[in-house]
Amino acid sequence: MSTNNYPYQDGFEQYLSIQGLAAITIDEYTATLIDMFEYLSNFNLGYQENHKVSQLLDRDVEQYMQMLVNNRSIQNLTYNKILSHINIYFKFLFTHGFTNNLPTLTLKGKPKPQKIKGLSTKWLSALPEILNDEKVNPYTKLVLLLISKGFSVKEFLKPGFYKLMNKIDFSENEQQFLKSFDDFIKPIQLKQNSNDIFLKQRYSDNPILTLPGLHKYLNPSEKLLGIELNPSVLYKSYIINYMVQFGHNLPDDVLSQKLNLDPTSIIYYRKEAEKYM
């Protein structure tokens, strides 16, 4: 009995299995293709008329991929993974005579995260996905989010930093994470009788996390994400990345305001950024 949720699902999954792909990987292909064909059924006028996969063109797949970028804010790594799934699917259809078109032939992947000579900016491009990853500790997520807004660890571990949170511009994805973080931190705030956002989980007369205490949460996440999570290194990579991209077009006073840095620090980071240009 056919269980197809998208065209030729049974045959394609059998093909993937023969190629030696693990069941969990095949499930990822299935999720991608079900989502794409549901989208095409709902929003693609050409596919709605006859639901013939053999008549899909590059612009149809491109419409779906653009929706993922615009509406779901997927990052380059995820974009490339999804495009690869779709590409292999259409190659299967083409080589097995189910279509004469290869609608992914003209579609190209997105560039990989930039690396600045020894300073990785991978975490910046991956941040939206990290914020949605339930396996990553909430403190780790908040550290990355605040550093991406230009705050150093010395700043956000200070008592009273929480008062600045309403003044920071957060995206919709970031706001969703902050709602879940609020659920996480509220019981701890009640226990510690404190409104601060980095708190020890056991009651203490000095409830705010120290830097060594924060590292106890960052270290397991570092292994999970494969990213160095030293806050000082992350902060430096953020500042230098910003300088490389925008520093040459902005005067010192504007940079000082945007990055919350004094003039001396601006001069220092300008010189550091020059090494990576």
Q: Which two tokens stand for residue 78?
A: 């995820």
102 φ, ψ (degrees, to nearest 5) = -120, 85
Beta strands in 117-273 (DSSP E): 119-120
Give CA–CA dist 231/219, Å, rounded.
11
Q: Which two tokens stand for residue 274?
A: 């020059």
Give CA–CA dist 17/27, Å, rounded.
11
- In this prediction, residue 1 carries a pLDDT of 42
- In this prediction, residue 114 carries a pLDDT of 56
Could you please state the CATH topology (level 3) that the domain comprising 9-95 is classified under. DNA polymerase; domain 1 (1.10.150)
112 — pLDDT class (breaks 50, 70, 90): low
Separation in Å, CA 139 to CA 120, 134, 170, 220: 21, 12, 17, 12
Give CA–CA dist 187/223, Å, rounded.
27
Q: Among 42-46, 67-71, 148-152, 196-200, whose mean pLDDT is lowest?
A: 67-71
Each domain of the chain, given as residue ranges in start order, spans 9-95, 116-274
pLDDT (tens digit per residue) in 189-245: 999 999 999 999 999 899 999 999 999 999 988 888 888 899 999 999 999 989 888
pLDDT (tens digit per residue) in 133-161: 999 999 999 999 999 999 999 999 999 99
Average pLDDT over residues 160-176: 93
Q: Among 35-44, 169-178, 268-277, whose mean pLDDT is lowest?
A: 268-277
Give CA–CA dist 135/45, Å, rounded.
39
